[in-house]
Amino acid sequence: MKAPEAFACADEILWHESQNVYQPIRRALPEFLSTIELTSHNNVVPESPLLVFFEQTCMANMHQHAEQDILREQAGILCGQAYLSDRQHYVVVESAVAIDTLGDAAHFKFHQNSWPGMWNHLEIGCNIVGWYHTHPAMGIFLSTTDLRTQQLYFSSPWQIAVVIDPVGQEFGVFYGALGSKLAEDRCLTFVRKQQ
């Protein structure tokens, strides 16, 4: 996110990075891995520019929401933490917050009560690291509208978009301003180790 600095006229806005913009925390990947147990069949690929770790209950909640209504698209926000280990980003997605939307089988849109309802369900200190939505019986891709949403609101290299096809039982992760598809072996599920 950027904040307006000053403007010469209504059509020209100058932007600068604000100090309070959320940024990934520096944390070595092995340190994080020592606190979890992987539940996916994938192994960690340390040379990947981005890894995404989904807490198992978060993944289950996303799929449950996706399957509630397979006749229209569903959507939500992903919360967690982004980290930087050396030059590699990794994202830990801890919760999925469903958003009430209006939609049909191929589109969805937010309405005036979508965001207040979502903000009421977020925990204090929650960081939004991405978003998700469904493509019932359409497969896994970012449409032109999806890509525009990604570019406008989730353009950092560690911000993600998840697409779920609840009919075809498919799942995909896209990241950054280009909406690049993340390889399946870069998406892992986990549970936290008991202390």
What's the maximum distance between 2 C-alpha atoms anywhere in the chain? 57
pTM (2 decimals)?
Answer: 0.84
CATH number of 22-192: 3.40.140.10
Distance CA 102, CA 91 (A): 29
The dihedral sign for the CA sequence 160, 189, 125, 17 = negative
pLDDT at 49: 84
Distance CA 100, CA 118 (A): 8
Distance CA 195, CA 177 (A): 38
pLDDT at 54: 98
pLDDT at 60: 96
Find out whether 195 and 165 touch, Cβ atoms under 8 Å: no
Measured CA angle at 75 (ends 136, 80), to 5 deg = 125
DSSP codes joined into one string, 29-70: HHHHHTTEEE-SSPPP-TTSSEEEEEEHHHHHHHHHHHHH-T
Distance CA 84, CA 126 (A): 18
pLDDT at 36: 96
Q: How far is CA 107 from the centre of its chain?
A: 19
Find out whether 143 and 172 touch, Cβ atoms under 8 Å: no
Per-residue pLDDT of the chain (195 residues), as tens digits, is 333 343 333 444 444 445 566 889 999 999 999 999 999 887 887 778 899 999 999 999 999 999 998 988 999 999 999 999 988 999 999 999 888 777 767 777 766 766 666 666 677 778 999 999 999 999 999 999 999 999 998 999 999 999 999 999 999 999 999 999 999 999 999 999 987
pLDDT at 45: 79
H or E element that contains 149? helix 144-153
Q: How far is CA 177 from the centre of its chain?
A: 13
